[in-house]
A and B are shown apart, each in its own frame.
Chain A
Amino acid sequence: MVRPKVGGAGKVISRAVRNRPERLWFSEVIGFLSGSPFVAFSIPPMYDWRCILMTPDPYIFIVIFVGVALVFPLIPLALAWLWRRFFQPPKPGAEKNAIYECGVESIGDAQIQFRSQYYLYAIIFLIFDVEAIFLVPFAVAFTGLPVGAFIAILVFLLLLIEGLVWAWGKGCLNWAR
């Protein structure tokens, strides 16, 4: 394998600079600023980078992604912290830090309890929604099921049917007049 030449890009830049003498000084500066790290760091790591890509360890990408995912949000947070430190004094306040943000003051506590009468709705929901979700895979896999699984789903069904009988007796299934 031929090793790439170190400093190849630098030579190209300086040749381009030589062809434009009228902008020599600024181009030198720009070329120095942008080109020299390229020459110094980029090409040998590029070579190593390809070696990493050729090694059959796919987990290296997860490590890279985790690193990027950590650094990416940390940079703006650090910049914001610096900005606050040097320029903008924080001005917290009771209303600015309030939880509710629609212009109306919140009344009471957010941690409320529901009335226990709503248990009938919970039973109906379990019978007609959750049960249906479990019944479809049960019906699809019915012929291949072992006896233990069949008994388990039967117990589940019987519990819900008991709830259905209870709700029926309470009159939940009648149309309201």
Chain B
Amino acid sequence: MSEIDEELRNELQRQGVWVTSMQELYNWGRKNSIWPLQFGLACCAIEMIATAASRYDIARFGGEVFRPSPRQADLMIVAGTVTKKMAPQIVRLYNQMPDPKYVISMGACAISGGPFKQGYNVLKGIDRYIPVDVYIPGCPPRPEALLHAFMELQRKIDGQKLTGATKAEHLTAAQPSEFPVPAFGEHDLEPPANRDLFQPPKIERT
């Protein structure tokens, strides 16, 4: 698992010998076969569909296999407005995905509630309940933006360590794989946010 010297690797490659480590092989396989969960919430889903279709073609990055079951999915693309009615189902779907799992928060609504932030029924960002890896701004983001987020996610996966103190979260036994599902309260979701994950930003006025 030890890192190989870069110069030695280049020298070996020039002679026709390719060497790799278990970690690189693992991450190379993972990052080139990210299977997203097939669901869409609002207009961002149309852009997600366009990304999967032939013009933008997410298959070039190995992400075309949209799975209808969370059991087979690696990536959750939260594409669109998350209503408070829908939030428990999304958290439950996230919980049902096997590790390692990643989340892309696509569009202004999924990040923060977007233009509907003042609405009584809109969740102000899915990161209140599940950990998000990549945020894409935009309303809705273009397919290129989703592809960019996908490449960022690939970069993140490529950098994840198998061993050591900085190893990936899904390999750490203490890191939870499921997060509490919010319940419908009298006025809002209970709890309104998962405090272990989400700290509301502090506003300082001067």
With both beta carbons as reference points, the residue of chain B lying nearest to A95 in the complex is identified as B95
With both beta carbons as reference points, the residue of chain B lying nearest to A97 in the complex is identified as B96
Q: Which residues of B contact A87 (CB under 8 A)?
A: 162-163, 171
Report if A103-B15 is in contact (Cβ < 8 Å); known contacts: A91-B99, A96-B98: no
Report if A93-B70 is in contact (Cβ < 8 Å); known contacts: A23-B15, A30-B17, A103-B93: no
Q: Which residues of A contact B178 (CB under 8 A)?
A: 91, 93-96
Whether, in the assembled complex, A143 has its beta carbon less than 8 Å from a beta carbon of chain B, the answer is no
B15 near A96 with CB under 8 A, answer no
A95 near B92 with CB under 8 A, answer yes
Q: Which residues of A contact B93 (CB under 8 A)?
A: 102-103
B96 near A104 with CB under 8 A, answer no
Whether, in the assembled complex, A175 has its beta carbon less than 8 Å from a beta carbon of chain B, the answer is no
With both beta carbons as reference points, the residue of chain B lying nearest to A88 in the complex is identified as B171
For chain B residues 1-25, which have a beta carbon within 8 Å of chain A?
Answer: 15-17
B15 near A101 with CB under 8 A, answer no
CA distance A89 to B170 in the complex (A): 8
Q: Which residues of A contact B89 (CB under 8 A)?
A: 103-104
With both beta carbons as reference points, the residue of chain B lying nearest to A103 in the complex is identified as B89
Report if A96-B96 is in contact (Cβ < 8 Å); known contacts: A26-B16, A87-B162: yes
Interface centre among A23, A91, A102, A103, by most chain B C-beta atoms within 10 angstroms, is A103
Counting chain A residues whose Cβ lies within 8 A of the other chain, the interface size class is 10 to 19
With both beta carbons as reference points, the residue of chain B lying nearest to A92 in the complex is identified as B177
CA distance A91 to B25 in the complex (A): 23
CA distance A103 to B90 in the complex (A): 7
CA distance A95 to B130 in the complex (A): 15
B73 to chain A, nearest CB (A): 10
Q: Which residues of A contact B177 (CB under 8 A)?
A: 91, 93, 96
Report if A95-B96 is in contact (Cβ < 8 Å); known contacts: A103-B89, A104-B89: yes
Q: Which residues of A contact B134 (CB under 8 A)?
A: none
B173 near A101 with CB under 8 A, answer no
CB < 8 Å neighbour of A26 from B17, B71, B92, B172: B17
Report if A93-B95 is in contact (Cβ < 8 Å); known contacts: A26-B16, A30-B17, A101-B70: yes
Q: Which residues of B contact A26 (CB under 8 A)?
A: 15-17
B96 near A98 with CB under 8 A, answer yes
Complex interface bits, B124-142 against A, C-beta within 8 A gives 1, otherwise 0:
0000000000000000000
Q: Which residues of A contact B95 (CB under 8 A)?
A: 93, 95-96
CA distance A30 to B170 in the complex (A): 37
B26 to chain A, nearest CB (A): 8
Q: Which residues of A contact B96 (CB under 8 A)?
A: 95-96, 98, 101, 103
For chain B residues 53-83, which have a beta carbon within 8 Å of chain A?
Answer: 69-71
Binding site for B on A (CB under 8 A): 23, 26, 29-30, 87-89, 91, 93-96, 98, 101-105
27 pairs of residues in contact across A and B, judged by CB atoms under 8 Å: A23-B15, A26-B17, A29-B17, A30-B16, A87-B162, A87-B171, A88-B99, A88-B170, A89-B173, A91-B99, A91-B176, A91-B177, A93-B95, A93-B178, A94-B178, A95-B178, A95-B181, A96-B95, A96-B96, A96-B98, A96-B177, A96-B178, A102-B93, A103-B89, A103-B92, A103-B93, A104-B92
Contacts beyond the supplied A87-B162, A103-B90: 13 A-B pairs with Cβ under 8 Å: A26-B15, A26-B16, A30-B16, A93-B178, A95-B92, A95-B95, A95-B96, A95-B178, A95-B181, A101-B69, A101-B96, A103-B93, A105-B92
